[in-house]
Amino acid sequence: ESASEKHQFDAEVPRLMNLIINSVYKNKEVFLRELISNASDALDKVRHEALVDSSIMEAKPELNISIRSYPEKNMLVIRDTGIGMTKEQLREHLGTIAKSGTAEYMKHLEKKGTEGGSESDVNELIGQFGVGFYSAFLVADKVSFATKHPSEAKQHVWTSTGGSDFAIYEDLPENDLGRGSAITLHFKEEDAHLLSSSKLKDLVEKHSSYISFPIYLWSATTETIEVPADEVQDSDKDQAADDLEEEAKEDQGKAEKEDTDADSDSDNDAKDEPEVEDEDDEDKDSNDADQPKTTTKTIEKEEWVQVNAQKPIWLRDPKTIITKEYNDFYQSFAKDTEDPLAYNHFKGEGKVNFRGIIFVPPKQPSDYLQSFQAMVNNVKLYVKRVFITEELGEFLPKYLNFVRVLVDAEDLPLNVSREMLQNTRELHAIKKTITRKAIDMFSQLAENDPEQYQKFLDNFGANIRLGINEDHRNQARLAKLLRFASSHADSGVSFADYVSRMKGGQKQIYYVAAPTLQEAKKSPYVETLLARGYEVLFLTEQLDEYSMQALREFDGKMLRNVAQSGLEFGDEDDETKAAISELKKEYDPLVQYLGEALSDHIERAVISNRLTKSPMAIAANQFGWSGTMERFMKAQTR
Ligand code: ADP
Ligand code: MG
C-alpha cells in the first residue's frame, strides 16, 4: 500500500461546500439523486467506449448501480460499474469545480444566503446547475471514493472530511472493483434517518426512477415459502429459512468487518454485488392432488432488489401511466421542485421512429437563471434507450427554449457524433415533429383547461408571440393560441371568437395597441368602430403589435391597426363618400396650414372619418410602427 498523498482543494471547492452544508439549502435528499446521476453518467461513458473497445467490458460485464446502507455504522455505499476514474482524474474532477459559471453562481448563492433570498430561487439554481458530487457533504462528514479505470492497473481511493483538503491513496488489491466506483458516505448523526432502506427506496423512486441502468437496493424483504403441512416441526424446512436469515446476517457481518478497516471503506466483497440472473421460480399449483399437503410460512431476509422501473417511462404505453408518474419523472428529469404545467407523450413515425415527451415547466425561469440560459440545454437525446447528448445546440426554434424534451430515436447509429447529429435528415424530421407536438400540446391545454392555459400564457405568451415571427410554417397554428382583451370581453378572446362575432360584410379584424387596457378602451380611434358596431381587439402585451405585423391576416381576414391612417370600413355608402369629399375640399386650407405649421412633428395632416367625439388625433402611418410599438422598440434597442 502506498502512502496517502494530501492535496488542497481548489479555492472554490470549500466555498461551495460551505454553501451547500451551512446555508439556505435544506433539501438534503438531493445528494442521492446527484450521486446516482454521476453513476449513470459513468455507465453511459463505459457503454460508449465499449463501442470502440469491447475489452473494457471484460472485467465487469454488467452495467448497474447498487446501493447499500449499514444503519448501525451510519454508512451508505453507492457502487457503479461505470468507467471509473484514473488517479489523475480523481485529483482533477474531485478537487476542482470545472463548470463555467460556477463562480458567479456561488456569488449569487452567497448573496442569497446573507440576504435571506427565497428558498425557491435557490432550489431553482441548484436544480439547474446541480450541486453535483459535493452534495455528498450535505449528509456525510466523511466521504471515500474508490475507483478503478480500465486504463489503469491500480485502484485508487479519494477521501475527504470536507474542510480544505483531500487525500488520495492506492487501494488494497483485495478491494479491487474490476471497473467502476464505490462511494462510501459516513453519515452525520442527524441524517441517519435517511439510511433506512424504505426511505432510500422512496428517494430513488422519486428522483431517479428514469435512470436506464438497473438500480439495486439491499433491502429487507419477506417471502412466503411453502412447507409440508405435516412437517411443520421438521427441522429440514425450518433450516432452509434459517439458512437464508443466516446468510443475510453473515453478509451484514462481512460489511461491518470491512468497515473496521479504516483505510478501506469501499464495499467490494463479491457477495455484496447484486446477482444479475433472474431467480423467479415457477409457481407451484397447490391444488395438485399429487403434491403432499403444504402450509405457508413467512420468512424475512435481505437481498438485492431492483428499485427503478424495468422500462423507462417514455417507452411505456401512455394509457398505463398516471399523471403523478409524469410529474415525478419531470421533476427528476428537469431537476425542478414543482410539477409541470403540461406534457405531451407521443410516438413519432415516418422518416424516423422515435418516442418523445415534451414538458412545459410550471413557470418561466427567473431573470437570473435566464442570464445563464445558454448553459441550459432543453433537449435530451437518447438512441435506443442509450443517452447520447443534451448538447444539441439550438435544436428547437428559439421561441420554444422553455420546454423540456426527451427524445429516444430508433434509427440513429449509437456512435453518432455531435457534428453528424446536427446535419442528419433524421434529426431534422425529429425537430419538426417536436415543434408540431409542442404546439398541439398548447392547443389541447387551451381547449381542456382554460385556467391552466391562462397560467401558460402569463408565463410563456411572449414566446408564442415571438414564434409567430420566427416560425412561418406554424404561424397560423400559433396565432390560434393567442388571447386578447377586446371591446367584447376583458380577456380570453381568441381570433376565432372574434371572427365568429364579425358583422355581415366585415372584412377586417380591428385592433388597437396601448400600454394598458384602460388606455386602449379610451383610445380615440376606437370610437367610430364601436359606434359602427365593430368589435376591437385591445392589445396590451408588448409583443402583440410585433406579432400582428408578422401575421398580417387570420383566416383570410386582414388585421387592421385602427391607429394607422388609411382606415376604410367598406360599408360607406355613396352619400357618405360624397359628404366626406365635400368636407375635404372645405377644410383643405386648414389641412395645408397644419401640415406646414407642424411639419417638424408630423408627416402630413388629413381629414378623417375615424373619429366621432374627439376633434383630432395623431395616427401612425399605415406602414409604420404605432406609438406604442415605437416606445417598445426604443426600450429594446437601448
Ligand atoms: P457533473 O456530474 O455535473 O460533471 P459532479 O460534481 O457531479 O459534476 O461530478 C464531477 C465529476 O466527477 C464528473 O464530471 C465525473 O468526471 C466525475 N465523477 C463523479 N462521480 C463519478 C463516478 N461515479 N464515476 C466516474 N466519474 C465520476
Ligand atoms: Mg453530476
Q: pLDDT for 209-222, tens place per residue?
A: 778 899 999 998 88
> What percent of the chain has a predicted confidence (pLDDT) above 90?
45
Per-residue pLDDT band for 574 (boundaries 50, 70, 90) equals confident
Checking if the pLDDT of 240 tops 80, the result is no
132 lines ligand 1 (CB under 6 A): yes
pLDDT tens digits, one per residue of 248-261: 444 444 443 344 34
Mutate to test the pocket of ligand 1, among 16, 32, 41, 185 (most ligand atoms within 8 A of CB): 41
Question: What is the rounded end-to-end Cα distance, in angstroms, of the chain?
Answer: 65
Per-residue pLDDT band for 196 (boundaries 50, 70, 90) equals very high
Where is 223: in which H helix or E strand?
strand 215-228
Checking if the pLDDT of 577 tops 80, the result is no
Scan for cell 387570420, then name that residue: 554
Question: Distance between CA atoms of 435 and 464, rounded to whole angstroms?
Answer: 12
pLDDT tens digits, one per residue of 299-326: 888 999 999 876 889 999 999 999 999 9
Mutate to test the pocket of ligand 1, among 10, 13, 38, 66 (most ligand atoms within 8 A of CB): 38
Annotated binding site for ATP: 34, 38, 80, 85, 99-101, 128-133, 418
Q: Which of 264-273, 347-356, 576-585 is predicted least confidently?
A: 264-273
Annotated binding site: 34, 38, 80, 85, 99-101, 128-133, 418
> Residue 267 has what pLDDT?
44
Q: Strand ranges (DSSP E) for 562-610?
A: none
Cβ neighbours around 143 below 10 Å, total: 23
Scan for cell 443517452, then name that residue: 387
Question: Distance between CA atoms of 439 and 455, rounded to whole angstroms?
Answer: 16
133 lines ligand 1 (CB under 6 A): yes
pLDDT tens digits, one per residue of 156-173: 999 999 889 999 999 999
pLDDT tens digits, one per residue of 425-480: 888 889 999 999 999 999 999 999 999 999 999 999 999 999 999 999 999 999 99
Residue nearest to atom 20 of ligand 1 (CA): 38
> Residue 234 has what pLDDT?
46
Q: What distances in angstroms separate CA 397 from CA 378, 379, 402, 409, 507, one per listed residue?
A: 11, 12, 10, 20, 33
- For residues 101-127, average pLDDT: 62
pLDDT tens digits, one per residue of 358-383: 999 998 876 666 655 554 578 988 88
Q: What angle do CA 293, 296, 299 make, to 5 degrees?
A: 150
> Residue 99 has what pLDDT?
65
6: which residues sit within 8 A by CB, 6+ positions away?
Answer: 165, 166, 167
Provide the edge-to-edge strand list for the sheet that holds 354-360. 342-348, 354-360, 404-409, 379-383, 386-389
Q: What angle do CA 523, 585, 595 make, to 5 degrees?
A: 60
Question: Distance between CA atoms of 431 and 429, rounded to whole angstroms?
Answer: 5
Per-residue pLDDT band for 614 (boundaries 50, 70, 90) equals confident
DSSP state of 66: E
42 lines ligand 1 (CB under 6 A): yes
> Residue 290 has what pLDDT?
61
> Residue 124 has what pLDDT?
60
Per-residue pLDDT band for 538 (boundaries 50, 70, 90) equals very high
554 lines ligand 1 (CB under 6 A): no
**Three cell numbers, residue 401:** 427554449
> Residue 287 has what pLDDT?
52
Residue 40's φ and ψ, nearest 5 degrees, are: -65, -40
Pick the atom of ligand 1 nearest to 78's CA.
Answer: 23
Where is 327: in which H helix or E strand?
helix 323-333
Residue nearest to atom 23 of ligand 1 (CA): 39
Checking if the pLDDT of 351 tops 60, the result is yes
Ligand number nearest CA of 44 is 1
Ligand 2 centroid–CA 159 distance in Å is 18
Ligand 1 centroid–CA 498 distance in Å is 55
> Residue 139 has what pLDDT?
93
85 lines ligand 1 (CB under 6 A): yes
Q: Which residue has the higher pLDDT, 268 or 592?
A: 592
Ligand 1 centroid–CA 133 distance in Å is 6
Question: Distance between CA atoms of 441 and 489, rounded to whole angstroms?
Answer: 25
Residue nearest to atom 15 of ligand 1 (CA): 93
Question: Distance between CA atoms of 397 and 474, rounded to whole angstroms?
Answer: 11
Identify which of 98-107, 281-290, 378-387, 457-466 has the greatest average pLDDT: 457-466
Identify which of 117-121, 150-154, 588-592 has the greatest average pLDDT: 150-154
pTM of the model: 0.69
Per-residue pLDDT band for 28 (boundaries 50, 70, 90) equals confident
Per-residue pLDDT band for 608 (boundaries 50, 70, 90) equals confident
* Residue 282, burial from CB neighbour count under 10 angstroms (0-12, 13-18, 19+): exposed
Checking if the pLDDT of 107 tops 70, the result is yes
> 376-408 in b/e burial notation, b at 16+ Cβ within 10 A?
bbbbbbbbeeebbbeebeebbbebbbbbbbbbb
pLDDT tens digits, one per residue of 617-629: 777 665 555 666 5
Ligand 2 centroid–CA 35 distance in Å is 7
**Three cell numbers, residue 333:** 428529469
